[in-house]
Structure 1
Amino acid sequence: MKIAIEAQRIFRPNKHGMDFVVLETIRELQKIDKENEYYILVSPGEDRCLSGCENFHIIEISCPTYPLWEQVALPRAVSKINPDCLHCTSNTAPLFCKVPLVLTLHDIIFLEPRQDENKSWYQNMGRIYRRLVVPRILPKCRKIITVSHFECRHIQTTLQLPADQIIAVYNGFNSHFKPIENVSDVVRKYITETGYFFFLGNTDPKKNTAGTLKAYSLYLKKSSAKRPLLVADLRETLLDTILKEQDIEEIKPYLFSPGYIPNKDLVYLYNGAFSFLYTSFRESFGIPSLEAMACGTPVITSNTSAIPEIVGDGGMLVDPRSPEEIAEKMLELESSPELYDAQVLYGLERIKYFSWKKTAEKLLDIYETFSKKI
């Protein structure tokens, strides 16, 4: 087969979840598939994190905006390649494309009511674009891939899709996430000491940044240790706004907000943390929870959406809408060494169910079945 894979944003320096999913999957496909011919379609960028090989060809496509890149430049490039299929990996795809289409639809959060106002213009524009494009391309997809059985059922029910059109394929996590020693030098770039709580917050309302900060304020009132909180991927000006809105400005001295953290440093920060807080309202999978557990760091996470499916019944699950419950788990973990050690061991066992190799193998099975149908 000739397989075209859209990986538009993998060369950008500040990568996020979907970028890492396609990057790591392609790297594993390179290891296991020496027969099919692959064309990886990307936008030029500074971080050349993927190299081609004998049967993997990287095609760079320049275009000023994402919508034009996807709707105009990408179909033109695909028509020249004339592949057996095009796999679009980040929720959207060209409205007009002559080759059979496989789509990874990570979630349909953009079609759901918002938990709160999003203060990011970029994310708001992305939401509008997805709402316009996705309903129009779904009927054209030969196969739709999503990342958990929860999301598979939710998408199928909400959009009334045929059961054989959509399939769940779990994400993995990078093998460099593991327990390590001597993390202090990297940790000190972001926070003054180890043994902190770690939270990946951003402007997306589903991440529950305000509720998590409120929970942390309740934790500080009862804890004798008063561990600091490292909040990644959130500008300090926005952090200050949230603290003022929640009337918890007094916790600011305990907070560290360095902004975007490169993926290569995350392994040190997970290892340096006392616990990782993954208290989102809504996730279709939840790679950060696996990364933290793989580093031997207990995770306090939500009992909603796909998160229990990934973390498992033995995880520390809380109602993300209850700051009191989140704070209670933080204190419980801090006060019980036995519970802490049990959560470390549980996490290291749980992550064995997931890997990018397994993801790539299932994706290859889909490609090969797909070619027979064509």
Structure 2
Amino acid sequence: MRIAVMMRHAAEGGGTGTYTRELVRGLVDRGTCHRFDLLFDDPAAAAEWAGQAHVHPVVLRAPGRMAWDQWAVPRYCNRAGVDVVFNPKHAMPFLAKAPCLFVLHGADWFVVPENYGWRLRAYQAVALPLYLRKARHTISVSEESRRRLAARFPFTAGRSNTIHHGVSPRFQPVTDPQVLARVRARYRLPERFVLYLGLIYRQKNVGGLLEAFRRLMGSVPHDLVVAGRPAFHGRRALEPLADPALAARVHLPGWIDEDDLPAVLSLAELFAFPSYYEGFGIPLLEAMACGTPVVTSTGGACPEVVGAAAPTVDPDDPDAIAAAMHAVLADPEQASRQRRLGLARARLFTWQTAAARTLAVLEALGRDEPPDLPPPPGLAETAVPDRAPLPRDLSSPLAG
């Protein structure tokens, strides 16, 4: 079978770039009986994928992203006679004749549209239903997102599956004292700290975390490290730092280099992620894989990712967030238990499993058959609410 994969965004940072690189590596490794036409817009990115007999990197030129998606890609696929087209990010090539596989990385666009500018909201309102109708099948990266998708677009209910993200093997506990000391010095990290890692904007509830830490900081010696960069209206989340006492205990190191993430997570005594909504929540998985205890929220797919390995609290309740953090920081036995549970939970999410399940969908589409996948591993032990709590007022101080 000949599988075309749209790789224009493969070199991007962030979760989608990681998803593309890791998943496609897994597909290529497992699908040696197939030919993979990997479609790029950058010759340098294409060169990294050369060298395997069943992999054919192709550079397509077009004057802009839309032209690349909607002209260059379908033109190539139709001429080459590919059997299925897969885009690991978002757009669907409308003129492609082969069946297409769409990936929904989260239901943010229609669950919390307030987090996006009006141009993006307008684009998604028009484009997303068209992409979903063009796609022969849809992958959702969480069961929570799949349920939201089916509720919003009922025509997708019979042609979608959940395939969870994996976690890279490089995320594991770091114990080398020299590595830990180097990373601590590079980012000027305090001796003992709670860590938040990710973008800073309303959906992530960094403002609620700061308020919870304000209530907690008098009873623990830890500081709070908020590592990331502000996104859409994200600076509002940092307004609680106008309090000098709170600001003195909060560190803002900025974006952490990808190579340093396992060490930073290993240094943290707790990873706090009280997000209002997550389509998946990759940082939760990375933290657990590094043996870091986690406190998260009932928002979106967070309970689905952590299972029984971490407490989930109402993101609108800073007292509950503070209490959950205190329970870990003040009790070494509780922290140790959560480390063990988190490490075991993280082992359920592998890119090998994600690739095997995705390849099964691609093969079914290539045969013009409906994919038949079992539930994702580990999902049965997790209670996934039909509708997780959302913020009562995203413009409130606690929402950032």
Alignment TM-score, normalising by the size of structure 2:
0.83
Structure-to-structure mapping, 1:1-374, within 5 angstroms: 1-12=1-12, 15-44=13-42, 50-52=48-50, 53-63=52-62, 65-114=64-113, 125-181=119-175, 182=177, 183-220=180-217, 222-225=218-221, 227-235=222-230, 241-244=236-239, 248=243, 250-373=245-368
How many Å separate the matches in 2 of 1:63 and 1:213? 45
* AA aligned opposite 1:209: V
How high is the sequence identity, in percent, across the aligned residues? 27
- Is the partner of 2:252 in helix, strand or coil? strand
Q: CA RMSD in A?
A: 2.6
How many Å separate the matches in 1 of 2:73 and 2:155? 26
Q: Which runs of 5+ in 1 are unaligned?
A: none
How many Å separate the matches in 2 of 1:197 and 1:64? 46
- Is the partner of 2:90 in helix, strand or coil? coil
How many Å separate the matches in 2 of 1:252 and 1:45? 46
**Change over 3 Å in CA distance of 1:252–1:72 after alignment to 2:** farther
* AA aligned opposite 1:18: T
**Change over 3 Å in CA distance of 1:252–1:128 after alignment to 2:** farther
How many Å separate the matches in 2 of 1:20 and 1:218? 36
How far the C-alpha of 1:209 sits from its partner, in A, is 1.9
How many Å separate the matches in 1 of 2:64 and 2:324? 44
Contact kept? 1:298, 1:347, Cα under 8 Å: yes
- Is the partner of 2:144 in helix, strand or coil? helix
Contact kept? 1:279, 1:301, Cα under 8 Å: yes
- Is the partner of 1:154 in helix, strand or coil? helix
Contact kept? 1:107, 1:155, Cα under 8 Å: no
How far the C-alpha of 1:255 sits from its partner, in A, is 2.5
- Is the partner of 2:187 in helix, strand or coil? coil
* AA aligned opposite 2:123: Y
**Change over 3 Å in CA distance of 1:321–1:260 after alignment to 2:** same
**Change over 3 Å in CA distance of 1:100–1:362 after alignment to 2:** same
Q: How many pairs does the alignment contain?
A: 365
How far the C-alpha of 1:74 sits from its partner, in A, is 3.0
* AA aligned opposite 1:147: V
How far the C-alpha of 1:11 sits from its partner, in A, is 1.6
Q: Which runs of 5+ in 2 are unaligned?
A: 370-400
Alignment TM-score, normalising by the size of structure 1:
0.89
Question: What is the match of residue 396 of structure 2?
Answer: none
**Change over 3 Å in CA distance of 1:172–1:49 after alignment to 2:** farther
How many Å separate the matches in 2 of 1:49 and 1:294? 31
How far the C-alpha of 1:248 sits from its partner, in A, is 3.7
